[in-house]
Amino acid sequence: MQEKFSFASGYRSRTIFRVCNIVFFILLSLVMLVPILKVISDSFDAKAGYALTLLPTQFTTDAYKRVFTDRELLNPLLISIFTTAIGTALCLFLTTTSAYVLLQTDMPGHKILTWLFFITMIFSGGMVPGYLLIKGLHLMNTLWSCILPPAISVADIILMKSFFESLPQSLMEAAAIDGCTPFGIFIKIVLPLSKPALASIGLFIGVRYWNQFFNFVMYITNNDLFNFQVKLRDIVLNSTDLQNSNASDTVLMSRTVQNACVIVSMIPPLIAYPFCQKYFTTGVTLGAVKE
């Protein structure tokens, strides 16, 4: 199976091509990995950044200790964990129920509901009306401003809906004939069958909450409520000393700590994603519509 079309002539040129191809992908993989490896190495290196090797010159774990003990870094980390937990639970609940209800074509009001969701996919009020709304609701400088607006995600609802559609319909028909109500079918049959999809889409949502930062940039001005992404942006961009001096009260962090923060903030998504590989292809197509 390794050589699908092996014909004696051209065998040599094919071998050359295959070797070159593998070498090419090894080089490409290095391009992808080296920036990350350099950051990992620097996060363990007391003299971060001054060596051209991918191994720490002066090994230390102090930077990581600092991330988990220094209040200034630990607090954003806890905020990230908190908003991710609450946001994911809420968003997953809304996504699952909305997706299932949108499939109930017989339900009165189904058409209106579908349109209600559909319109938000093609038109949005934009950044400034959204900002004024949060201000008007007095949600500025509360974590709700970063939890509630992203909780309705039409792309995820469509992803979930396409999963529900793939479930065997005969099971639900049988349950309906046995006298199960539509809601009973949802709770007793659909949800237990959907555990893998719930887990994967939940991870997608969780990663989004973890990585979110622009809502924090817009709605949060109180330093104590920054999440880890915003904090990271703050310390890296400030200490690489761009003119952005608006957050100059931040203590300058050493390069090692900056690198450690980068690593800490990218670990949860890297752990989560292998579990939702199955949904990548669908996710790519759907994601293209959104930002």
Partner 1 sequence: MQNTAATKEIKTGVRPHTLAARIYKYRYFYLIMLPAIALLIIFKYIPMAGVSLAFTKYTAFAPPKFIGWDNFKELIGDASFLSALKNTLILSLVNLFLGMLFSIGFALLINEIHRKLVKSVFQTILYIPHFISWVVTASIFYLILSPSGGVINQLIVGLGGKSTYFMISEKWWTPIFYLINLWKGVGWGMIIYIAALSGISDELYEAASIDGAGRMKQMWYITLPGILNTILVVLILHLASVLNIFQSVFVLQNDLVLNVSEVIETYIYRVGLLQSDYGYSTAVGLFKSIISMLLILVTNNACKKIKGEGIL
> According to CB under 8 A, which residues from 4 to 43 bind partner 1?
4-5, 7, 10, 14, 17-18, 21-22, 24-25, 28-29, 31-33, 35-36, 38-39, 42
Distance, CA of 238 to CA of 241 (rounded, Å): 5
Cβ 149 to partner 1, closest distance in Å?
Answer: 5
Question: What are the residue ranges of helices labelled H in the chain?
Answer: 11-43, 62-69, 71-101, 110-122, 127-136, 144-147, 154-166, 169-177, 182-185, 191-193, 195-211, 214-219, 228-239, 255-272, 280-287
Site string for partner 1, 108-147 (x = CB under 8 A): xx---x--xxx-xxxxxxxxxxxxxx---x----------
Distance, CA of 14 to CA of 4 (rounded, Å): 12
50 binds partner 1, rule: CB under 8 A: yes
SS3 call for 248 = coil
Q: Which of residues 65-94 bind partner 1 (CB under 8 A)?
A: 94
233 binds partner 1, rule: CB under 8 A: yes
How many CA atoms lie within 13 Å of 82's alpha carbon, on the beta-carbon side? 14
Which residue number, 106 or 249, has a Cβ lying nearer to partner 1?
106
253 binds partner 1, rule: CB under 8 A: no
152 binds partner 1, rule: CB under 8 A: yes
104 binds partner 1, rule: CB under 8 A: yes
* DSSP bridge partners of 45: 59
Stretch that binds partner 1, among 65-73, 80-88, 161-169, 239-247 (CB under 8 A): 239-247
Q: Which of residues 203-232 bind partner 1 (CB under 8 A)?
A: 207, 210-211, 213-214, 218, 229-230, 232
Distance, CA of 149 to CA of 220 (rounded, Å): 14
Distance, CA of 267 to CA of 40 (rounded, Å): 11
Cβ 61 to partner 1, closest distance in Å?
Answer: 19
Residue 12 has φ and ψ, to the nearest 5°, of -65, -45
Stretch that binds partner 1, among 59-67, 77-85, 175-183, 189-197 (CB under 8 A): 175-183
- Vertex 7: Cα angle to 5 and 8 (nearest 5): 155
From the list 166, 169, 222, 243, which residue makes contact with partner 1 (rule: CB under 8 A)?
A: 243
